[in-house]
Structure 1
Amino acid sequence: MTIHKQSVRTFINGKIFTANLELPYASTMIVRDGSIAWIGEALDLENIEGDCVDLKGQRVLPGLIDAHMHPLWLANASTQIACTPPLVNSIADLIEQIRNSCQSNETGKWIEGWGYDEGKLSEGRAPTRWDLDEAAADIPIIISRTCTHIAVVNSKALELAGITRDTPDPPGGKIDRDQNGELTGILRENAKDLVLRIMPAKSLEENAASLSELGDFLLSHGITAITDLSSRTEPIDYLEMYQTAAEKGLNQRTVLYYLWDDLKDKPLLLPDKIKRENQIRIGGIKLFSDGSVSGKTAWVNPPFLGEEENYGIQTTTKEELLAAATAAEQNDIQLVVHAMGEQAIELIIDTFYGKKGWLTDGPSIRIEHAAMPTPQAILRAAETGIAFVTQPIFVFAEIESYYKNLGFERTKETYPIPSMLEAGIKVAFSSDAPATAWADPVNPFVGIKSAVTRLAYNGADTGQKQRIDVITAIMLYTKSAQEITRIPHVGQLAVGNHADFIVLNQDILEISIDMIDTVLVQETYLAGNLVFQR
């Protein structure tokens, strides 16, 4: 982290929300050597120490923590076709964008896109290989669905990957075929890996430079701590890549969660890789229990609306969960499992119900997304100390798919945050960026607005009974996210913590809740130093 700590600074005249329940509000704080030395009201301050910074009566929050995201995917998305409104509203638009890319394409280079959602396309269906072939037949193309659990490729990509109509579905995956047995080009869950593994990889240096640039963008959104929930050991080790990014200027405190498939043959990690005080560290092992609601690969019960036989895809087993948990315990890190549907969530809770966790400084097991927990699952998760890390932007941005796949009433019961909190479950908010159908998927204020209003971007009702208040939503992006990610000395503006905080251009605690997504970060501070100014 290339931040030079000033010795002493006093910040005055702020409307500070600290996220510290013992002292929730303050106007003044003294920062010494990057940490908060004193915080309170100006009347109680005997004298101003060091440089004086006037916060001009603006709202101040702790730096935001995105507890579940994919920074490298997000960084690379900026060089790919954004298959979201307003750029792409139809398959015809997508074909046009691909053709535009072909004109500037280097010989043999893959064309990539992200973010399509058939619910938003005017044709009302997903693109197929025949659509992509129409755009370009001789250049390999891969377009990821918004959820990132499904991809569509053209015939050239299928050919390069060696996928034919006789290729069997891989475990935990599905190769779509039409009624005649012809490949449609749509690859679900583990099937998309058949193509991903043959694609040319960027160098460690190239990826590190992209991450460093992304870090500045994330600071503009007030995000001072990040996670990577798809970290790999090969072909590039993500720990080394992020450490190089930090040398190039990535300032965020960062926790990596490695895919179990990459660790299962060599599960033991060196202690210096998991040290919590490190700017970049390994924090957990990641598995997938199912897919996505919007892509109809979540492992649900009852089945998807209008498809009596489609319960989604189960992508792990009890045996794999237990093996990964053993490795997580040996390394003193978390077990982190993606689960959206009822059956996927219950598999995890049934596997670990009643077992004691191995970590003393946070939850040992996290369920990521937790879109559709049953009331019984919520109670049993609370009893077992399992945390939920969820993304309120999903139902906000993907409402068409939720209504179509689940129906109106079932959609309104998804992401039941109040029920989780009332049961005593530790919950954190996050974005899962770029894995959602929104042009700026990492924007925390869109997620907060969704959780507070329970209205989608188009005004559709996503479940008024599941609303929370603004302060709770902020806490889930700060204090609660810290407790779950276990990043030390952040998440609250309290004595002894890092002076990581943000200054907003509007008071998020006073404006109308339907305006929350218009809030902008005016300034971002790390260790008391200004690292972003709008």
Structure 2
Amino acid sequence: MTQERDIIFYNGRIFTADSDQPYVNTMIVRNGKVVWVGDNPDAERTDGRWVNLRQKRVLPGFIDAHMHPLHLAAVSEQIPCTPPKVHSIKDLQEQIKWQADRQENNDWIQGWGFDEGKLTEGRTPTRWDLDHAEAVIPVLLTRTCGHIAVANSKALEMAGIDKDTPNPSGGQIDRDEDGEPTGVVRETAKDLLDAVVPETTMEEDAELLASSSENLLAHGITGITDLMARKIPTDDADMYSLAQRKGLKQRAVLYYLWSEIKDNPNIGVERKDRREATHIGGIKVFSDGSVSGRTAWVSTPFLGNDDNYGISTTSEPELLTAADAAKKNGVQLVIHAMGEQAIAFIVDTLEHVNGWLDDAPSIRIEHASFPSGDILDRAAEAGIGIVTQPIFLYAEIESYLNNLGSGRTKSSYPIRTMLEKGMQVAISSDAPGNAWHDTVDPFVGLKGAVTRKAHDDTDVGQNQRINLETAIVLYTREAGKITRIPDVGQLTPGYHADFMILDRDILQTGPEELDNVRVLQTYMGGELVYEEETAGHKG
């Protein structure tokens, strides 16, 4: 629909994320896109609707380059296993009992977000802990990283997991000294339980996703990604399109799981049209697990277990085959890798594969927790991009210290070094896959990147600090580039007028206030799509 008049946003403190013109006070929008930015245009020669920004700080809309929106929406309806509600296994049991008492049927009880590093017992709950709370209804609690879960005995029985069940390739069923499953399943072993959890319909998923849109807008998020998109039994591209018809406003890029498409890796042309609000941007492969869950493929064993180097979850032939499929489809290959060995394995395998995309890295490493300097040099030379998450160190410091110690923790997620080596980098949340109570909050990630301190003020490596302007750019302009969403991430002529207005000028107040920032308004295409109803601090 053609806009009748220009919209002139004036009297603001606009950070454009454009390095050639980063700070302006006025922006003119026409038909949803920015056509002019600068300072104080001649009012008499500019006809249109004028919007006074009242000296508020304006940022481009955040593009979360690695997240799981449907999972994020789903866990909002599950038992919260994080502070402030849960601090112990006893608290978990109380939450399970509360849920069982209010249910009218024997539907599965699910929970999300436990982190043994934050539990007073300092250990992962077991099937017997869950049985004590509920033995009749199947219970499944997923760890904050999303790579590990714990089930009660009823759920294990339904999944057919017993003493004789072998570990699947790339996964592990934890067992006690008698060989009995403890209820804890890691990596691909979690799929055994996921397979028996009742499936939701496409209509239900679309409704749930659409209902989450306002929460994302309340965080200034205008672009999203789904790094675990399914194609079987239904195609998530269809589900996201339906969600947008139902009210999902964010532009969305989906990355098919390799396991979903490897038997038929042809992605239709219409699915890859980047002009569409939903499109397929890549293929996703896992090469290891998580640091906090002790399943990342590391070169030095996790503390307290000299035999645990994590889990390798892919192979050289699989990576090369997936890369070939991505090239033939003209999309990105994105690979989950946290540990040193996993990152080195990817670079060793793919550094000599010629890139096939002209406008962005053909190959991305997701997370890249522990890259060595040599591996980063080679990855930079090969044009490999990185999407990483400073919120992990900020939110999960207890597990990182327990699993790695202070020295290795401080050397993780070396964003400053990545940038100095000329790599294309974006930062994101991996929501809901982190241990913060508000997993998708970009401002917490910004604070972690800028301060290199955890939520409890633990130093996590001051030599890897970056300044706030750079951090914002990595969450906006560079995230737009690395996800290949057209014309997003900066407020400059030709780009979509997607932006937020903040309650404070974060470029003046200092990083210590970042986790308290509120988004007052969010605009997409120059039109107001979210406005805060009540003023109150987060949390």
Above 0.5 in TM-score? Answer: yes
* TM bracket, shorter-chain basis: over 0.9
Match of 1:210 among 185, 208, 211: 208
- Kindly state the Cα deviation for residue 6 of structure 1 after the two structures are TM-superposed: 5.6
Contact 1:5 1:527 in 2 (8 A): no
State the partner residue of 2:185: 187
How do 1:24-39 residues align onto structure 2 when only pairs under 5 Å count?
24-39=22-37
Supply the distance in 2 between the matched residues of 1:227 and 1:519 (Cα, whole angstroms). Answer: 23
Match of 2:517 in 1: 519
Equivalences for residues 100-139 of structure 1 within 5 A: 100-139=98-137
1:404 corresponds to: 402
What is residue 488 of structure 1 aligned with on the other side? Answer: 486
> Residues 87 and 232 from structure 1, CA distance in 2 versus in 1: closer, same or farther, beyond 3 angstroms?
same
Q: Is the 8 A contact 1:5 1:529 kept in 2?
A: no
The reply on whether 1:73 has 2:54 as its aligned counterpart is no
Question: 1:227-257 CA distances to partner (integer Å, 9 max, x unpaired)?
Answer: 0001001233100100000000111010000
* 1:356 alignment counterpart: 354
What SS class does the counterpart of residue 330 from structure 1 fall into? Answer: helix
Matches within 5 A, 1:351-390: 351-390=349-388
Structure 1 residue corresponding to 2:456, chosen from 435, 454, 458: 458
What is the alpha-carbon distance in structure 1 between the residues aligned to residue 510 and residue 258 of structure 2?
Answer: 44
**Which structure 2 residues correspond to residues 144-183 of structure 1 after superposition, within 5 A?**
144-183=142-181
Who is 1:90 aligned against? Answer: 88
For the residues of structure 2 that align with 1:497 and 1:135, how far apart are their CA atoms? 53
Q: Find 1:23's aligned residue among 17, 21, 24.
A: 21
d(CA) in 2 for partners of 1:160 and 1:375? 47
Match of 2:504 among 506, 512, 519: 506
Q: Spell out structure 1 runs of 4+ moving beyond 2 A.
A: 3-7, 43-49
Looking at structure 2, the residues matched to 165 and 4 of structure 1 have their Cα atoms a distance apart, in angstroms, of 65
Give, as a single letter, the amino acid of the residue that structure 1 aligns with 2:516: T
- The code of the aligned residue for 2:291 comes to V
Q: Does 1:298 align with 2:296?
A: yes
Give the match for residue 58 of structure 2.
Answer: 60
Match of 2:271 in 1: 273
Q: SS of 1:509's equivalent?
A: helix
Query: 1:229 maps to which residue?
Result: 227
Aligned to 2:441: 443
Give the residue type in structure 1 aligned to 2:216. L
Distance 1:176 1:338, change over 3 A: same
Distance 1:103 1:16, change over 3 A: same
Q: TM-score, normalised by structure 1?
A: 0.98
The answer (yes or no) to whether the contact 1:35–1:499 under 8 Å persists in 2 is: yes
SS at match of 2:207: helix
Do structure 1's residue 318 and structure 2's residue 332 form an aligned pair? no
- Structure 2: which 5+ residue stretches go unaligned? 533-539
Matched, 1:50 2:48: yes
Equivalent in the alignment of 2:10: 12
| 8 Å contact from structure 1 (residues 291, 313) kept in 2 | yes
CA RMSD of aligned residues (A): 1.1
What's the offset of the Cα at 1:166?
0.4
Contact persistence 2:26–2:41 (CA under 8 A):
no
Report the Cα offset of residue 45 of structure 1. 6.3
Cα pair 1:158 1:164 within 8 Å, conserved = yes
Q: CA deviation digits over 1:68-96, x for unaligned, max 9?
A: 00000100111100100110000000000
After superposition, give the CA deviation of every residue in 1:53-75 in whole Å (9 maximum; x if it has no partner). 00000111111100000000100
Query: What's the counterpart of residue 433 of structure 1?
Result: 431
Partner letter of residue 492 of structure 1?
A: Q
Task: Work out the CA distance in 2 between the residues paired with 1:355 and 1:24.
Answer: 36
Paired residue type of 1:482: G
Q: Residues 431 and 441 of structure 1 are in contact (CA less than 8 Å); yes or no, is this contact kept in structure 2?
A: yes
2:246 is matched with 248
Cα distance, 1:345–1:6 mapped onto 2, change above 3 Å? farther
Contact 1:137–1:156, Cα closer than 8 Å, also in 2: yes
Tell me the equivalent position of 1:391.
389
Q: Is the 8 A contact 1:150 1:186 kept in 2?
A: yes
How far did residue 5 of structure 1 move? 5.1
Distance 1:4 1:148, change over 3 A: farther
Identity %: 57
Cα deviation digits, residues 187-216 of structure 1 (max 9, x gap): 000001001011111111111011111111
* Alpha carbons of structure 1 residues 480 and 405: separation in structure 2 relative to 1, 3 Å: same
Partner letter of residue 353 of structure 2? K
Whichever residue aligns with residue 481 of structure 2, its letter is E
- After the TM superposition, which of the residue ranges 322-331 and 35-44 deviates more from structure 2? 35-44
1:318 partner amino acid = E
Unaligned runs of 5+ in 1: none
The AA in structure 1 aligned to 2:130 is L
1:306 positional shift: 2.5
1:137–1:155: 8 Å Cα contact kept in structure 2? Answer: yes
Q: Under a length normalisation based on structure 2, what TM-score does the superposition of the two structures give?
A: 0.97
Amino acid at match of 1:58: K
1:196 aligns with 2:202: no
Q: Spell out, residue by residue over 1:116-142, the C-alpha distance to the aligned partner (whole angstroms, 9 max, x if none).
A: 000000011000000000011010000
